[in-house]
Structure 1
Amino acid sequence: MAATARSLLDRLIQHAVGPKRTSPAATSASTIIRHLDSGDLRKAIATLSSSASPFPDNVYASLLHLCSSRRSLVDVRRVESHLVAFSPSSSPSIFLLNRTIVTYARCGSPADARELFDEMPTRDGGTWNAMISAYALSDCPNEAVSLFSRMNSAGIRPKDVTLASVLGCCADLLASFLARQIHCLILKYGYLPNVILDTSVVDVYGKCLEMNDARKMFDLILHPNEISWNVIVRRYLEAGSAGEAMLMFFQMIREGVKPLSFTVSNTLKACSKVLALKEGNQIHAYLLKTGFEGDNVVGCSLMDVYAKCGVVDDARQLFDQLPCKDVVSWTSMISGYVACGRVDEAEKIFEEMPERNVISWNALLAGYIRFFCWDKASDFFCRMWRETGKLDLVSLGLQLNACAGISDLDRGKQIHGFAYRHNWESDKFFRNQLVDMYAKCGNLRNAEISFSIMADQRDTVSWNSLISGYIRYGRSEETLVALSEMQRETIPNEFTFTTILAACANIFMLDVGKQIHAFMVRNGFQLNAIVRGALVDMYSKCRLIEYAIKIFEEESTRDLILWNTIILGCAYNGRGEQSLDLFEEMKKEVAADNVTFIGVLLACVSQGYVDLGRRYFDSMSNEYGIIPRIEHYECMIELLGKYGWMVELEDFIQRLPFEPTIPMWIRIFDCCREHGNIRLGERAAKFINESNPLTPVQFEIIPRAGHHMPCSSG
């Protein structure tokens, strides 16, 4: 009864007042909201433009939000025009104008944002913050820092978000000094502890490679979140501290923080860098427990760990289990097979790919280059261009490597011309590759021109390429001049000194070699096995074998190259007995190769150990599985011929798997003259004369009495 009376009263009141009227602006506003809710930005903007009345702030804010998500710069301009033109007061809402500034930046136009900022009659702290954020979003760090400086000078207090943006800009600019000043401002304003700002400080110090400060700041964070942990892991990785990156990841797990997929991926990259298979297995087990195994980014990184650690079959198993194989995962599998030397399987994967990008092509191309498949690399490069019409600087650089490998100067010049036509020639990486290609192909003039054009781009790699070219083609004096000039521009590294020491060995410049050795010791350079090998080689060839032996004995862990160098050095310096002793000692640490046996056979020649030399020669194939090369056959001819084992020499030549070379016949000829083997000597003379009929030789035995007899006729 009461409800009926209330309904009757409502109808009487409605009849007396008349129907409720809705204003046109309210109708338009509701229409705009309806279009925005359905995602129809075009109709919403059309409704806005057809109205000459202002709208509530929430309508403009919603319009700006959708413009931002659609990256529609033209529509942002229309919203701003309407907002400014039909503002109910003398000036629009500062809040909305601040939102418009940020929206312009998100739509890729910091210039529009700055124009609006400059035209605003009144600004508040939010306006400055919005403009600085706009510059940061638009990758304009210099402008953001400059505007922040103006803001600070004007006494306007920045928000914590603004300080985080400016710190990010300092990181982009690697401006550690400015970052420290902003860090002081953060402390002054009392914004700490604040996990966002704390993490930003860690990030900027990490990007500036000041990892001690980054770690100190990280340790001050009371409750680091997953983003904080991701930052410290990533910065350690980028700073080359893969071990620390892994330690931080495992500490994060112990503290119960679930990592982001990017954190896991970065940690796995750290495992790949240091070949940490055990840690990779532990992370894999963690992923299986926590449900990360379906993440493609993580899966690709884990595949990379297994592949680089030599367990590529496990990597393939992971690849086959991926629920969605994208071009990144396919490419990772190609790189894995390449890293393990299984190029044939990398080719199969490449051919099975449903989609390829330039990186995929480059991955297989790099495999051909790495394993010296020069012809395949050239053919594959041509196919890449023919099928895709796309190349990048990595592709061109790899092809230049192939040209250098087979001394294909003409193809190298074509690549140079292609890069010039596409305005890629100025890239430092490409120019370094050019210098290297021209130097290895023997065109040192072009190498020097390319090197000179680089001017202030030159780095250690550039100088090393030129110096290597000088060494390769016997221009040792110019090598030493280049080293002197290099030190005015950049710091030499171990490779530089190894190359220079080789030059000193070639031209017997002992004094210069000693100076380089002293320079390295004084300046704390790492004397690794390669450098020690170069020093041993230089001192050996300069007849200072005692120094060579001393350097060799200083190193507790020795690789095959260092062993070979000292064995050869002792043999060349008449210390064959010591060479053979070293060989016996070497067998306890590393396996011999063909170079080792050259040194061993030369030692036998030096000492006259014919029987022992024959046993070593036979053991090469019987015990070590090493196929003798021409150098080994030359050593045996020298050993048998020098000591008069003519019957054995003749038998050895009969059993050669190839026809003796002319240098071999000349040595045989000389030995037969000295030791009186007429039949073999005349045979040697026949082959020598056939190869050089203009200056024939005539076999005659050298008389034992010592008087001279003519042995050749013109």
Structure 2
Amino acid sequence: MASLLNRLLHKTTRQQTAFPATPKALTNSILTHLAAGHLSKAVSVLFSSPVPFDFSLYARLFQLCALNRAIVEARKSGFLPNVITFASVLGSCAAVLALVLSRQVHGLIMKYGFHGNVILGSSLVDVYGKCGDMSDSRRMFDEIPYPNAISWNVIVRRYLKAGEERDAVFMFFEMVRTNKMPINHTVSNALVACSGILAVKEGTQIHGYAIKINIDKDEVVLSSLIDLYVKCGDLENAHRIFETPSSKNFINWTSVVSGYAMSGRTREARELFDEMPERSVISWNAMLAGYTRSLKWEEALDFVFLMRKETRAIDHVTVGLFLNVCAGLSDVELGKQAHGFAYRHGFYFNLFVGNAILHMYGKCGNLRSARVWFYQMSHLRDEVSWNAVLTSYARHGMSEEAMMIFGKMLGETTPSEYTFGTLLAACANIFALEPGKQIHGFMIRKGYEIDIVVRGALLDMYSKCRCIEYSLRVFQEAASKDVILWNSMMLGYCHNRRGEKVLELFCMMEKEGVKPDNTTFKAILHACICEGRVELGGQYFDSMSEMYCVIPRLEHYEFIIELYSRYGFMDKLESFVTKMPFEPTAPMLTRVIDACQEHRHLRLGEWASNRLYESNPSVH
């Protein structure tokens, strides 16, 4: 490498000069010359030194040679490089992402007849991949006549690092098809690629192949297997591999704890966490994130106190998660303390923490502090920040303010589908049809994908704004309809007092093979009340558990009581209320008493009054 650099600069002095003997002093001398633009003097110091330098210094000098086109003058000097020389140069090019110089070196490789050499071919695959040119990287690989295990590992890894996981997996299986024996890192890279795209089927096949070639006990492969099964939700397989003797290292332990925690299985996660022989801030954060994801706020708070007691290893992720706990508990005072901690320790400069502070104030209803902090973090804020403040205003019924903020948001960042879902909900709350239409039109003009969530928000907005025809059009345009979208359309018809349409939709829903849920039957029973379909309402209630395996909830019982009470079916009301599998609530008994007074049903009225007195004597 040093020899090549010497010839790259044709004006390099050959005069020997006495230089300081220490590498640090020599490096400082070289850097001083480079800062002054004296490339030749820098190289003179380099080659007059009796000691080697750090690899990064050579890489930087190669980059400067590329910028000065010194490689062209090295053709003129008659320098004849060999395979090792070219491989070293390409390694340096890859280190500094010097794509232009790499292409020049590639040209020289062709000129000197090294085309087809497996070492240089693999080096070219690597450098083009690292420089982001995967098409040329793949072309170089395809031009290697007989790629070896290293060549295959390079192309698989480059595809993985480029975010093209499917191609990485494909190339691994191509390698297997050609009967080339992979090294452990190639198997590991292929498994990591499967993890990235949740390709559990392909990952399982690679696992089987690893067992076949007897590298499934390799530490690198084991870690990748555990990561694959954790990310794909197969915690049983992940735990089984983790229990093997060579698997219980810190990284794998943390991965399994995180897998259980993030899947909601916090009890198993905590048991594993408590058994860990050593813990880092990553381990603590994984467990805390599991509690917050499962909305177990009290347990999360206790865990934070334990963490503060046992370790000082706290980072910005810890602080952000703690702020989320404060938001979940709606404890603004605790949140203020967390905000102060973040300020004192410099964490508030972190965007994750900043957004967590914003979310906490908004969730706790302290919109003044949320607004103040939002403007204080103007140099940091992103789309998540804007969405947090929009959601805060919309959640607390301040829909006009949310719309004003959206107007300002467009001048700073690009809104996401989540933003539009929040805004449409705000429009629905204040029955703002025109702004809702404008948002709908904006999404269409800008080419936004109207996913199932946004479609539901659009449908709800149009329904609440008494524009049911638009709701129906949005519903019909959906490529696929899940039960939530069907329910939204049914509830929209209920809101517009079109009960007969709800019953028609339910028949269509059954024909489509969509299974109803609790919300579906809320809409159906509400429609029966609106249309006076007493017998039909009773039949649908009975069919919930008998035909659809949907257990009636409190609100379904309330609907039936309202149905029988409103239309004077007192015998049915008496039979229904007295045979309920739980004690009637006070509002239920009050409604029964009102119905009995209206329809002069003294026996049931007396029974309901006695029950109401027994449950709550203070009402009399």
Tell me the TM-score normalised to structure 1 length.
Answer: 0.71
Per the alignment, in what secondary structure is the counterpart of residue 410 of structure 1? helix
Worse overlay, 485-494 or 295-304? 295-304
Shift of 1:325: 1.2
The answer to whether the 8 A contact 1:136-1:169 is kept is no
Residue in 1 aligned with 2:92?
A: 165
Aligned residue runs from structure 1 range 558-577, under 5 A: 558-577=481-500
Shift of 1:358: 1.8
Say whether 1:114 aligns with 2:114: no
Q: Deviations over 1:368-397 (max 9, x none)?
A: 122221111111121122112222222222
Shift of 1:455: 1.6
Shift of 1:222: 5.9
Shift of 1:253: 3.1
- Distance in 2 (CA, whole Å) between partners of 1:231 and 1:522 is 43
Say whether 1:305 aligns with 2:215: no
Residue in 1 aligned with 2:564?
A: 640
- Distance in 1 (CA, whole Å) between partners of 2:144 and 2:436 is 53
Shift of 1:673: 5.9
The answer to whether the 8 A contact 2:564-2:570 is kept is yes
Worse overlay, 548-557 or 191-200? 191-200
Q: Deviations over 1:246-267 (max 9, x none)?
A: 2232223334554454443343
Say whether 1:617 aligns with 2:541: yes
Q: 1:378 to 1:274 in 2, by over 3 A?
A: same
Per the alignment, in what secondary structure is the counterpart of residue 526 of structure 1? coil
Letter in 1 for 2:339: H
Say whether 1:595 aligns with 2:519: yes
Residue in 1 aligned with 2:466?
A: 543
Q: 1:407 to 1:90 in 2, by over 3 A?
A: same
- Distance in 2 (CA, whole Å) between partners of 1:639 and 1:136 is 82
Residue in 2 aligned with 1:60?
A: none
Aligned residue runs from structure 1 range 413-562, under 5 A: 413-562=336-485
Q: 1:583 to 1:449 in 2, by over 3 A?
A: same
The answer to whether the 8 A contact 1:307-1:340 is kept is no
Shift of 1:272: 2.7
Partner of residue 169 from structure 2, selected from 246, 254, 276: 246
Q: Deviations over 1:627-685 (max 9, x none)?
A: 443432332233222222234335544547355355x5675566556545567779779
Per the alignment, in what secondary structure is the counterpart of residue 347 of structure 2? coil
Say whether 1:657 aligns with 2:582: yes
Aligned residue runs from structure 1 range 95-174, under 5 A: 104=24, 111=28, 114-115=31-32, 122=41, 124=43, 127=46, 137=56, 147=64, 151-152=68-69, 161-162=88-89, 164-170=91-97
The answer to whether the 8 A contact 1:568-1:599 is kept is yes
The answer to whether the 8 A contact 2:93-2:99 is kept is no
Whose Rg is larger?
A: 1
Letter in 2 for 1:569: G
Shift of 1:319: 1.3
Letter in 2 for 1:431: G
Shift of 1:284: 0.3
Per the alignment, in what secondary structure is the counterpart of residue 348 of structure 2? coil
- Distance in 2 (CA, whole Å) between partners of 1:418 and 1:129 is 54
Say whether 1:359 aligns with 2:286: no
RMSD over equivalenced CA pairs, Å: 4.1
Letter in 1 for 2:431: F
The answer to whether the 8 A contact 2:393-2:399 is kept is yes
Q: 1:144 to 1:415 in 2, by over 3 A?
A: farther
Letter in 1 for 2:516: A
Q: 1:564 to 1:204 in 2, by over 3 A?
A: same
Q: 1:412 to 1:270 in 2, by over 3 A?
A: farther
The answer to whether the 8 A contact 1:230-1:259 is kept is yes
Say whether 1:268 aligns with 2:212: no
Aligned residue runs from structure 1 range 208-227, under 5 A: 215=138, 219=142
Worse overlay, 471-480 or 546-555? 546-555
Q: 1:605 to 1:390 in 2, by over 3 A?
A: same
Aligned residue runs from structure 1 range 53-92, under 5 A: 91=17
Residue in 2 aligned with 1:83?
A: none
Letter in 1 for 2:557: Y
- Distance in 2 (CA, whole Å) between partners of 1:643 and 1:144 is 91
Shift of 1:427: 0.5
Residue in 2 aligned with 1:282?
A: 205
Q: Deviations over 1:85-125 (max 9, x none)?
A: xxxx95259xx98xx76xx59xxx96576258789995548
The answer to whether the 8 A contact 2:200-2:228 is kept is yes
Per the alignment, in what secondary structure is the counterpart of residue 557 of structure 1? coil
- Distance in 2 (CA, whole Å) between partners of 1:110 and 1:389 is 38
Partner of residue 195 from structure 1, selected from 100, 104, 121: 121
Residue in 1 aligned with 2:11?
A: none
Letter in 2 for 1:660: T
- Distance in 1 (CA, whole Å) between partners of 2:360 and 2:330 is 8
Aligned residue runs from structure 1 range 368-383, under 5 A: 368-383=291-306
Letter in 2 for 1:165: S
Shift of 1:473: 0.8
- Distance in 1 (CA, whole Å) between partners of 2:360 and 2:27 is 43
Residue in 2 aligned with 1:631?
A: 555
- Distance in 1 (CA, whole Å) between partners of 2:379 and 2:399 is 25
Per the alignment, in what secondary structure is the counterpart of residue 558 of structure 1? coil
Paired residues, number: 581
- Distance in 1 (CA, whole Å) between partners of 2:359 and 2:610 is 44
Letter in 2 for 1:284: H
Worse overlay, 120-129 or 665-674? 120-129
The answer to whether the 8 A contact 1:572-1:602 is kept is no
Q: 1:454 to 1:614 in 2, by over 3 A?
A: same
Q: 1:271 to 1:427 in 2, by over 3 A?
A: same
The answer to whether the 8 A contact 1:125-1:157 is kept is no
Shift of 1:233: 3.8
Q: Deviations over 1:427-477 (max 9, x none)?
A: 011111221222112122222222222223222111111111111111111
Shift of 1:326: 0.5
Q: 1:213 to 1:462 in 2, by over 3 A?
A: farther
Worse overlay, 465-474 or 644-653? 644-653
Shift of 1:495: 0.9
- Distance in 2 (CA, whole Å) between partners of 1:479 and 1:257 is 60
- Distance in 1 (CA, whole Å) between partners of 2:28 and 2:586 is 76
Residue in 2 aligned with 1:579?
A: 502
The answer to whether the 8 A contact 2:63-2:96 is kept is no
Q: 1:414 to 1:153 in 2, by over 3 A?
A: farther
Worse overlay, 263-272 or 184-193? 184-193
Per the alignment, in what secondary structure is the counterpart of residue 114 of structure 1? helix
Q: 1:578 to 1:225 in 2, by over 3 A?
A: farther
The answer to whether the 8 A contact 1:408-1:441 is kept is yes
Per the alignment, in what secondary structure is the counterpart of residue 489 of structure 1? coil
- Distance in 2 (CA, whole Å) between partners of 1:487 and 1:440 is 23
Partner of residue 322 from structure 2, selected from 399, 411, 436: 399
- Distance in 1 (CA, whole Å) between partners of 2:170 and 2:230 is 22
Shift of 1:365: 1.8
Structure 1: unaligned runs, 5 residues or longer? 1-88, 171-178, 698-714
Per the alignment, in what secondary structure is the counterpart of residue 244 of structure 1? helix
Residue in 2 aligned with 1:707?
A: none
The answer to whether the 8 A contact 1:230-1:260 is kept is yes
Partner of residue 606 from structure 1, selected from 530, 535, 554: 530
Residue in 1 aligned with 2:12?
A: none
- Distance in 1 (CA, whole Å) between partners of 2:457 and 2:53 is 56
